[in-house]
Amino acid sequence: MNKQAELDSLLQQVAVSGEKLTGTDRRDFLRKGLTFLGAATATAAAGHMPTVKAALPPEEPAYGKTLGKPVLFAPYGSPSKYESHVQRRTVEWLTPDRISSISFTPLADLKGIITPSGVMFERYHAGLPDVKPQEHHLMIHGMVERPIILSMDDLMRFPSVSKIHFVECPANGGMEWRGAQMNRLQFSHGMIGCAEWTGVLLSTLLEEVGVKPEGKWILAEGADGSHMSRSIPLEKALDDTLVVYAQNGEMLRPEQGYPVRLVNPGWEGNTSIKWLRRLEVGDQPWYHREETSKYTDLMPDGRSREFTFVQECNSVVTNPCPEKPMMKPGKVWVEGLAWSGRGKIKHVDVSFDGGVTWREAKFTSEVFPRALTRFGLEWDWQGQPAMIQSRAIDETGFVQPTYGQLRAARGENSIYHKNAIHTWKVNADGSVVNVQIS
Amino acid sequence: MFKSPNQVQTMLVPAGLLMAALVLGAGYVQAEQGTGYYGYGQTATPEQIAGWDIDVRPDGLGLPEGSGTAEDGEWVYEEKCASCHGSFGEGVDGYPSLVGGEGTLSGDGRPHKTIGSYWNYTSTVFDYINRAMPYTAPRSLEPDEVYSLTAYLLFMNYIIDDETFELNQDTLATVRLPNEPNFIPDERPDTANTRCMTDCRDPAAIEIKSQATPSLADELAAEAAETAETVEPPAQLAVVGKSVYDQSCMLCHGSGLAGAPKVGDVAQWQGRVAVGSATLYKHAIEGYQGEAGVMPAKGGFMNLSDDEVKAAVDYMVQESQ
C-alpha cells in the first residue's frame, strides 16, 4: 500500500470510530486522532496535507462557523503555523560551532523562483552582528578622486534599481564530490537563494567618487567581527554589482547583511559581502584569507585555481526529492530549479532512466539572467523504480556536466563549484534517495 | 563609462545653480567644490580612512608600524590562540590546524591545507589575524602582537628558523611561502558535455556508485515531534535567555571551551545550581575566577544588560538539570 492510501485508510478508521462516540468524547477523540495523524503524515511526507474527512463537503469546517482574528493581530505577519516545518537547517558536523557556520534553504517546500527572505540560507564567518542603521557607514576610498563616507540615508538618496538574482555559496553541493552523502535536497543543494534585490549600482557610486585610471580592483569589506573581505575586478564592479539595502520589498534581513550588502550577480556568494562597511579601489588584488586559504579550487596535480568567481550552470529536481517522495501512482508534475552565473537558462532536459533518454521541460517561471528558473514536466509513474536527472543548458551553450566529466577535469578535492547532473533514485515504494551513478 | 574630471565639472554647474536656488528657500547646503555629481555624504578624511583601512597586500602595502619575533609570539599564542588552535597548532575540536600538511595537496588522500602547505602569501597571515582573530575578540590585538604571532606561525611551519628574526613593515613581504607558485587562474569552462536526447548511454552499464544514508524518515519524525512541541510559544524570559545564550554564551558554554561548564552537563551544573541563582547572577555579571577557568564579566559582552545576563543564566540552568 502506498503512503497516501495508508493515510487515507487511517483517517477513515478514525472517522468511523469517531461516529460511535458523542459530544465531548467524540471531539476529543477526533482531535487526538488528527494530531496523531498529523505527526504520521509529517513522518511519511513532510508538507503533504492529509485529506481530513470532517472538512469535506457537506460538512462545514469550524472556521466557517466562528469569527476570526481582527486586523493587526499580527502587524508584521508570519507564515501559517501549519508551515512550521519549512525551516532553515544546518548540518552540525560541517563546522565546529554555529557562530562561523552555514544553514540551508528548504528548497523542497518553496515555490516559484523567489526565496522567502526568512528561509534564505545563512553564512556567517563571525556570527550575526546587530548593526544599527543610524551608526552604520559605508566608506569608499583608495585610488579615487573623492573619498567619501555615506550614511544609510545618504546611500538611499542615490538612484536605485531592483534586480532578481540568485546568491549561491560556492560550497553548495561540496559534500558530494566524493560520493552521494546528504540525504535531502535541503542539504545537497540548499546553499542558494534567489531574491529581488534593491539598491544602487556600484558603478553609480564609483562614478560619484571618480576612479583614478590606475584603479583595477575593488576590495569589499564587512563590518562584522570577521571583517570578511574579497577582491573584485573593477570590470565586474562597473558591470552589474549592486550595493543592496532591500530584499523582496523590505529592508534586508539581518541574516542577509542588514543594513547594506554587496550583490555580485552570478558570482560566488561570499563576494557579495554582507554588513558592507568599506570599498577600496586599488591596482591589484589583496589575496586575503577568503580568496587564498578558502574559496580556491585544488586540482589533482596540487595546483589551485584562484578567483574562480562564476557559479556555473546547474540544476536540480525539487519534486520528487527525498523530502517529497512519490505519493501515489499516476500523473506526476515533476519540477525543479535551474540557474547559471553566466546568464539566462536556455533549456532544461529531464531523464527518468539515468540519462539514457531525455525530454525537454517547460519553463514555469519567468526566465531572468543569473536567477533561479523553474521548470516542470509531466510524468506518468506506475510504481516503477526510476533515476531522475535534470540537465540545464545556459545561453552561452554550456551544458551542465556529469560527475564523470567534472571529476575528470578537477578530481575530488576542489570542495567548491560542484555543478554536476544530480540523480534521485525513486524506489518502488515511492521513497526517493540521493545516489550517484556510473 | 567614467566621466573625466572635466565632464564632472561641467555637470556640476547646473546642479550647483539649482542647489543655490534651493538654499534660499529650504536651507540646503550647497555641494562643495570637489564633490561628485550628487554630492551626498561627507568627504572621508585621512584620519577616518586610517581607522578602517586595515588591509594588507602581498607587497606589504598597508602594514602598520610595529614589529615582533617568534620568541615574543609564543606567549601571545599560548594565551590567545592555543585554546582553539592547540599548543602545537594542531587544532582543537574541529577548529583549524595551522601547521603540517606538506605533500598532501596532490594524490588521492585528503589534502591538509595550512599556512605552511597551502597559503600563498605571508601578508595574508598578518591581514587575517589582524582583521578577524582571536575568534572571540577580533580587532583587539596591537600591531606588535600581530607581527609576533605571524612570526611564530611562520616559525611553527618551518618557514623561518630564527626565533629572533624581526618581522616588520620592511621584512614581512620578503618571507615567501612554499605554495605561492602553485596558484593558477580560473580555467573554466573546463567541461564539455553535449545535449544528447536519445540512446545517450547503455542502460545496462548504469550502476549505483554511492548512495546517501536513507535515514530521512526517522529525522523527519523527530523534527515533526520537535515542531509540535514548539507550537506553544515559550515564556518571554526563556526567549530572551536563549537568544542571549546563543549569541554570547554558547561559544564557551556550548562546547566547554576555556573550562566553562557545558550546558546540558547535569554533573557540572549540580554544584553551581546548589549555590543559588543570586551567586550565579553575581559571578556572571561581575566575573569570576573559578578552579576550572575564568568567567569574564558578562562573558566579555559588556553591551548586555544585567537582566539579559540573568535571563541567559536562567536558561543555562534550566537546560542543565
* CB burial string A254-271: b at 16+ within 10 A, e below: ebbbbbbbbbbbbbbbbb
Residues 142-161 in B contacting A (C-alpha not used; CB under 8 Å):
none
A436: distance to nearest CA of chain B, Å?
5
Give the pLDDT band (50/70/90) at residue B218.
low
Q: Phi-psi category of A203—alpha, beta or left, where left has phi over 0 and alpha has psi -120 to 50? A: alpha
Residues 334-363 in A contacting B (C-alpha not used; CB under 8 Å):
347, 349, 353-360
Give the pLDDT band (50/70/90) at residue B223.
low
CB pairs under 8 A between A and B: 291
Give the pLDDT band (50/70/90) at residue B226.
low
Q: For position A51, what pLDDT does the model report?
A: 55
Residues of chain B with CATH 1.10.760.10: 67-182, 234-318
Between CA B294 and CA A62 the distance in angstroms is 58
| Nearest chain B residue to A206, by CA | B2
**Eight-state DSSP code of residue B165:** P
A3: distance to nearest CA of chain B, Å?
12
Assess if CATH 1.10.620.20 describes domain B67-182. no
**Cβ of residue A46 closer than 8 Å to a chain B Cβ:** yes
Give the pLDDT band (50/70/90) at residue B216.
low
| Cβ-defined contact of B183 to A305 (cutoff 8 Å) | yes
Residue B283 has pLDDT above 80, yes or no: yes
Mean pLDDT of B250-271: 83
Q: For position A357, what pLDDT does the model report?
A: 98
The H-assigned helical ranges of chain B are 5-26, 46-52, 70-80, 82-85, 122-132, 143-156, 216-229, 236-244, 250-253, 266-274, 277-286, 306-318
Q: For position B122, what pLDDT does the model report?
A: 98
| Cβ-defined contact of A207 to B36 (cutoff 8 Å) | yes
- In terms of DSSP bridges, do strands A229-233 and A250-251 run parallel, antiparallel, or are they unpaired? unpaired
Q: For position A120, what pLDDT does the model report?
A: 98
Q: Which residues in chain B are contacts of A296 at CB distance < 8 A?
A: 183
**Cβ of residue A196 closer than 8 Å to a chain B Cβ:** no
| Nearest chain A residue to B6, by CA | A210
| Residue of A131, A227, A229, A238 to mutate, testing the B interface (most B Cβ within 10 Å of its Cβ) | A227
Residues 181-220 in B contacting A (C-alpha not used; CB under 8 Å):
182-203, 205-217, 219-220
Residues 95-124 in A contacting B (C-alpha not used; CB under 8 Å):
95-100
A148, A277, A284 member nearest B57 (Cβ): A284
| Cβ-defined contact of A210 to B247 (cutoff 8 Å) | no
**C-alpha to C-alpha distances, B15 to A206, A304, B30, B35, B43, nearest whole angstrom:** 19, 51, 9, 12, 19
Q: Which residues in chain B are contacts of A301 at CB distance < 8 A?
A: 106
| Cβ-defined contact of B94 to A96 (cutoff 8 Å) | yes
Q: For position A14, what pLDDT does the model report?
A: 41
Residues 91-110 in B contacting A (C-alpha not used; CB under 8 Å):
93-95, 105-106, 110
Q: Which residues in chain A are contacts of B93 at CB distance < 8 A?
A: 96
Please give the CATH topology (third level) of the domain spanning B234-318.
Cytochrome Bc1 Complex; Chain D, domain 2 (1.10.760)
Could you list the mean pLDDT of each consecutive 10-residue stretch along chain A, which spans 438 residues?
47 42 39 39 45 77 92 96 96 94 98 98 97 98 97 98 98 96 96 98 98 98 98 98 98 98 98 98 98 97 97 98 95 98 98 98 98 98 97 98 97 96 96 96
Residues 308-337 in A contacting B (C-alpha not used; CB under 8 Å):
308-310, 312, 322-323
Between CA A326 and CA A317 the distance in angstroms is 13
Q: For position B171, what pLDDT does the model report?
A: 98
Q: What are the pLDDT digits (tens) for B79-121?
A: 999 999 999 999 999 999 999 999 999 987 899 999 999 999 9
Greater confidence (B245 vs A160) lies with A160
| Cβ-defined contact of B216 to A323 (cutoff 8 Å) | yes
Peptide bond into A170 cis (omega under 30): no
**Cβ of residue A212 closer than 8 Å to a chain B Cβ:** no
Q: For position A52, what pLDDT does the model report?
A: 62
A433: distance to nearest CA of chain B, Å?
7
| Cβ-defined contact of B250 to A391 (cutoff 8 Å) | no
Domains and CATH numbers, chain A: 3-64 (no CATH), 98-305 (3.90.420.10), 314-435 (2.60.40.650)
**Cβ of residue A10 closer than 8 Å to a chain B Cβ:** no
3-state secondary structure A241-293: CEEEEEECCEECCHHHCCCCEEECCCEEHHHCCCCEEEEEEECCCCCCHHHCC
